[in-house]
Amino acid sequence: MTSGTTAGLGPGPHARAVAAARRRFLRVLLLAGAWFWTGWALIVLSLPLIVARWGGVADGLTYDAAGSPARWPAFAIGIIATGALLRTHLAAGGTRRALVEGIARAAVLGGLAFGVATVLLTLAERGTFAALDRPWQGATGAFGLDGPAGVAGTVAAESLVITTYALVGAAVLAGYQRWGGLRGTLAIVPLLVPGVLADLATRTGIFSIPLRDAAVGPVLGTAVALGGGALAAVLAALVAHHMLRSVVPRPA
């Protein structure tokens, strides 16, 4: 017998519990992402056309000026989906470890989808401004989007950011479940540390705004973005596991 499977009988209980949590969390995350990216695409691609129609000049900061907000729906889904999963997962016999593992796997897959969407939206916005013969000033993080390496790096960095924020959301939900409204709210600040680290490492999001113009070489910037982003995601997973390992669902 192995840890995840029973010989000849397919996946064991732990593997099935992880897969179930992953599917349910990922479904909610991707659904929220579809609504979010559809809305932002409409805003980002229509606003410069509307401004140009009335003789104005937009600077290409539509998405970036909001602090690359894709992390916030991921954070919210971390709270909402974990709250919905916790009771049913435990009632079905799943362990908290399986829940955290399933959420982490879903966050990685959802983060990859969000990362690809980020690049596609940025390229579409840049193309829209080029078609209007307007200068584009949107930020592209530590990598830029010139060439396959830049695109791959941007997708990887954004994936790590989304993974981190989704796991931070799960930890925040556990904080409310363990400590209630007042103490749970006070606990949000330290629980956001992995998210702040992800922003600073990748130079995206509102927490990285003071570092946007910092002179960083390409090699160091890549190492910091990917290494720091990975560290933030791992830290978020550890925090989520610590917070969820002994939480008892509160009455509905």
Name the residue type at position 42.
L
Question: Would residue 98 count as lying in a domain?
Answer: yes
- How far is 32 from 76, CA to CA, in rounded Å? 10
Q: Which two tokens stand for residue 140?
A: 């592209």
For the ranges 58-72, 98-112, 142-156, 174-188, the maximum mean pLDDT occurs at: 98-112
Total number of domains in the chain:
1
Name the residue type at position 184.
G
pLDDT digits (tens, 9 = 90+) for 159-191: 999 999 999 999 999 998 888 878 878 878 899
Residue 194 has pLDDT above 80, yes or no: yes
- Domain with 216, as residue range(s), is 11-244
Question: Would residue 2 count as lying in a domain?
Answer: no
Per-residue DSSP letter, 212: T
